[in-house]
Amino acid sequence: ADPHSSAPENLPLPPGSSGLPLLGETLDFLRSSRDFAERRRRQYGPVFRSHVLGSPAAFLLGPDAIQWIFAGEGKYLKNRWTSGVRRLLGANSLALLEGEEHLERRRLLAPHFSYATMRGFVPAIESLATRHFERWAALPGDFTLWPSMRELAFEIALSLIFGQDTVDVPFLMRHFQAWTAGLFVPLAVNLPWTTFGRALAAKKAMITYLDQLVAERQKRTEQPPDLLGSLLRHREGEEPLSREAIVEELQLLLFAGHDTTVTATSNLMLLLAQHPDVLQKGREAVADLEGPLTLDALRAMPYLVQLIHEGMRLIPPIGGAFRITTRDVAYNGYRIPKGWMVPVSIRMAHSGEHWPAAERFDPERFGSERNEQRKPGTFIPFGGGPRICLGQHFAMVEMSVMLALLLKHYTWELVPGQDLSYVMVPFARPRSGIQLRMRRRS
């Protein structure tokens, strides 16, 4: 019999503890979500309950559970962001829309994110990346990778959205950074001196600026074929999208398309610096590369994708996501009541029993011989189901271009003595921000 089909009301709650009143087990969860889940898995098995971030929660571990969660979107689960994220992102953006509205917005944006569309972006990404890399390599001393990579990724995201328009990059970047700093604060308190308060103020400045850009665009009779153009041409029935909705969508895309790729590429550069044998293989993979990069040239170097995938497996840029049950539902002989949170632990999925020596950086595991990612639900850096990352092709192409250029033309070394221990929230980043010295090699 299907273990999920029995009537939930007759089933017991999953084993586990609700911890302290109000706080539940939140502090333990925030300290290290992976140890948190691992310890409880040993005690209770792969399905257990807890109480974290203000909500009762059912943790469902393992690839089959992951598949069940992704399949449940819109049926028994919906997306759930933390309150800080909900207040900073607008309610009209893709990430917060649900049901039909969500599907329709995805249909509108999808053409800009298809693999084929990426063909046109490769030259822009190559030229932006080259400009930044050349600058880093010409610095007399060392530099900190993280903020430098943020500038580069931000410019790339802007070019996706605004095409050829001129944008005040430093202005937007400054406010964007203050805004995103507030997204993952533990307590969202709006006062002028709190990180969250400053984030809301920055959001206002950013919205005013973006709103002007959109208004300028609206005056044109013809829209260029960029993402903003599509949002402006779109009609829901007779109605165009409101300017407010468009601005909120732009903000979401800047946010979603930015720190994620920064995290993936920066950590990969660190891993390569620490694994000279892998770096050497990477250099061999790009040895024959000549002339401007194209999608076809990238496709001819599958080892690049192996490197990026293994980097994201080991250090997932987004460590997890949250869902919430929309009705009582049965899972594996347990009842999960309506309104419970169901975390999706990407980090746990990437270190389970399907990954031999999971702590090792070993890109060969993604090669056709070993193919360790073959079981669905074991490799999910971009999530899955109807909410799978909209920008996954864009991200992969962007990261592949950067990596090909880095391997082909540059060397980089870690500055000795830096603190490479990780902070995990909001994004997995070494405390030093990764201090490098970079040089041109050819």
CB of 274 to ligand HEM, least distance (A): 20
Q: Which residue shows structure tokens 């995290």? A: 263
In this chain, which stretch among 167-175, 182-190, 356-364, 379-387 interacts with ligand HEM, using CB under 6 A? Answer: 379-387
Q: Closer to ligand HEM at the Cβ: 78 or 437?
A: 78
Which H helix or E strand runs over 239? strand 239-240
Per-residue binder mask for ligand HEM (CB under 6 A), 227-266, x = binder: -------------------------xx--xx--xx--x--
Task: Confirm or reject binding of residue 117 to ligand HEM (CB under 6 A).
Answer: no
Instruction: Name the segment binding ligand HEM (CB under 6 A); options: 5-13, 213-221, 315-323, 354-362.
Output: 315-323
At residue 24's C-alpha, the angle toward residues 23 and 28, to 5°, is 90
Sole binder of ligand HEM in the list 57, 390, 401, 404 (CB under 6 A): 390
Residue among 139 and 423 whose Cβ is closer to ligand HEM: 423
Task: Note whether 106 binds ligand HEM by CB under 6 A.
Answer: yes
Contact 420, 398 (CB under 8 A): no
- DSSP label at 434? -
The nearer residue to ligand HEM, 335 or 355, going by C-beta atoms, is 355
Q: In the 3-class helix/strand/coil scheme, how is 285-317 assigned residue by residue?
A: HCCCCCCCCCHHHHHCCHHHHHHHHHHHHHCCC
Please give the residues from 158 up to 197 whose contact with ligand HEM meets the rule CB under 6 A.
none
Binding residue for ligand HEM, selected from 18, 55, 79, 194, defined by CB under 6 A: 79
Q: Does the protein bind ligand HEM through residue 69 (CB under 6 A)?
A: no
Amino acid identity of residue 288, one-letter, is D
**What gap in Å lies between CA 405 and CA 79, rounded to an integer?**
37
CB of residue 115 to ligand HEM, shortest distance in Å: 13
Please name every residue paired with 24 in a beta bridge, in sequence order, or none if there are none.
20
User: Is 128 near ligand HEM (CB under 6 A)?
Assistant: no
- Among 323, 345, 327, 347, smallest CA distance to 337 is for 327
Residue from 229, 383, 430, 433 touching ligand HEM (CB under 6 A): that is 383
Contact 399, 264 (CB under 8 A): yes
Closest CA to 110 of 234, 259, 254: 234
Strand partners, 219: none
- Counting residues that bind ligand HEM (by CB under 6 A) gives 25
Q: How far is the CB of 381 from ligand HEM (least distance, A)?
A: 5
The two counts, helices (H) then strands (E), for the chain are 18, 14
Q: Residue 248: CB partners within 8 Å, gap ≥ 6?
A: 89, 90, 91, 92, 93
* Closer residue to ligand HEM in complex, CB, 329/389: 389
Nearer to ligand HEM, 96 or 205 (CB): 96
d(CA 253, CA 244): 14
CA distance 157 to 283: 27
**In the bound complex, which residue of the shown chain has the CB atom lying closest to ligand HEM?**
391
Residue numbers at the binding site for ligand HEM (CB under 6 A):
79, 94-95, 106, 157, 252-253, 256-257, 260-261, 264, 312, 317-318, 321, 381-383, 387, 389-391, 394-395
